[in-house]
Amino acid sequence: MNENYGMTRRDFAKLLGCAAVLGLVDVSGAASQILGDGEKSLFALANGTARTEGEWRLTRIEGKLPPDLNGSLFRVCPGQKETFGVRMKHLFDGDAFLSRYDFRDGKVFLKAKFLETPQRLEELQTKRMLYSEFGTAKPAPPADYKRKYAGKNQPSVNVIRWDGKLLGLSEGAHPTAIEPTGLSYQGEWDFYGTLPKDVSFTAHPKFDPVTGAGYTYGIKKGAGLALTVFRMETSGKLTNIAQLPQKDFFMVHDVTMSENYLIFVIPPVKYDLPTLMSGKATPADALRYAEREPTRILILRKDGAGAPIEIELPAAMVFHHGNAFERNGKLIFDSLLTPDGSVLQTLHSLANDKIPSSTPNNLTRFTIDLASGKLESRTQFGSNHEFPRFDARQTGKETKFLYTAGAETHGFLESSAIMRHNLQTGATKTIAAGRNRIFGEPVFVPQTGKMAEENGWILAQGYDARRHESFLEIRDAGTTDFAARVWTGNYIPLGFHGNFYAA
């Protein structure tokens, strides 16, 4: 056969994937093996390239949609794992892909599309990769082409509603404003000029359910590398409440909040600035885990008053936290700590069909005496969990339940279950994804007019490798009983975070 008409195994896999998304074939059995079940990890399969964009009413539903579930679940993910022949190397790489599940009167609709940033449009026009990603370097540009922008900021980690718009968050730079209905790109957002150009913005701001204000932070680039903390006013502007100088450019991914305090856990993960500034390395290449340096807890008053409390722990890696609360002069919060930096290599191995395993993390509760500023105790609830979520209406208060995506039968981040942890009794309930399936972040949605944590729903996007199809799982938060499973007829990369907003 003429080689121009030949089809490689990879090409055939892509063809089958597209056909499955369009509903033209049932990808199962031998077909799923060609798609890669036997070659790729479930994690890699669930975090590939989005194949379709559009808007659909979803009608293939197992179970029954809760009649009082009305609103929108917004999610974002890195949606492109190959750019004009260049295969992405890191899980954080790839153009942002947005999805919105709309629940209205017992019906559900899905809109999904790439965010058309100017840099994405420029690459599509020139048909070449012009901008480096977090972990993937761009190829040498053609001598006769000068790109239009300094770099590419991928708002692909989280998405929130604020001040009448969506904000796509990356934590590497400023937020990206997105029009909520059409999911169209609007531009970089600086909160009416109150976010300085040289300060980044976290992917995990926290919101006070009493005042409606948010709390956020970023790293001020340049001398001092200050951890800069802001209050997000309901006017839409930011108020600078603290600048905490750091000796290095540390990676601070998340923050948690009690009634009166903000709690930062700063792992010994930092950028090698000479390597980063050389122009020859990506940010991921310049990231270092300093195993001989401590992990630091910084506790700052929400009004910015006084010096922060600082506590040193043995070196550990941390991405996400649960809730925090105060009781009898004690500050108590939950966090996910890994005793080494192996997860960084795992995240930087997406180009490999087999993702290397990393050391399990531990769901850990810290108790700190506020008067002495000392760590009183730390207790482990379980291991191998990620994406902790709780009833956001209880932010800063003692909560009964914490929900995580749990990796009970697979490697790191291959979340074979949703776990509901009862933080008062220590009991855990498990919702198994099933064979060849994986869950993403579980989002708590309260039932209309009910305040108890038991009265709500858990929404989690999932991926079925045999179908090569995404679905949305809906569970009763109080009992973990099955409510509904909505099949999308599409493939949406699992990604990281999202949020639900009531109609």
Binding-site residues from annotation: 204, 253, 320, 497
In angstroms, how far is CA 6 from the centroid of its own chain? 39
CA distance 233 to 163: 10
- C-alpha 227/C-alpha 155 separation (Å) is 21
- With beta carbons less than 8 A apart as the criterion, state whether 446 and 456 touch: yes
Mark the binding-site residues for Fe cation, compressed into ranges: 204, 253, 320, 497
CA distance 473 to 163: 29
Give the C-alpha separation, 213 to 428, whole Å. Answer: 32
Query: At residue 4, what are phi and psi to the nearest 5 degrees?
Result: -65, -20
Query: Residue 65 has which token pair?
Result: 């949609």
**Which of 176, 128, 166, 173 has the alpha carbon at shortest distance from 150?**
173
- Residues with Cβ within 8 Å of residue 351, at least 6 apart in sequence: 87, 88, 89
Tokens encoding 95: 């153009």
- How far is residue 283's CA from residue 272's CA, in Å, rounded to a whole number? 9
Is residue 335 within 8 Å of residue 305, measured between CB atoms? no
Q: Are the CB atoms for 391 and 446 separated by under 8 Å?
A: yes
Q: Which of 340, 228, 220, 350 lies closest to 284 in space, CA to CA?
A: 350
- Residue 131 CA to residue 122 CA, distance in Å, equals 10
Cβ-proximal residues to 495 (8 Å cutoff; 6+ apart), any chain: 47, 75, 76, 77, 78, 79, 97, 156, 440
Give CA torsion, residues 46, 52, 56, 59, to 10 deg.
Answer: -40
Q: Yes or no: say if 318 and 296 are a contact pair by the CB < 8 Å rule.
A: no
Quote the tokens at residue 339: 């005793």
Q: Which two tokens stand for residue 106?
A: 């017992």
Q: What is the C-alpha to C-alpha distance for residues 72 and 92, in angstroms, rounded to an integer?
A: 25
DSSP states along 15-84: HHHHHHHTTSS---THHHHHHTTTTS-HHHHHTS-----EEEEE--EEE---TT--EEEEEEEE--SEET
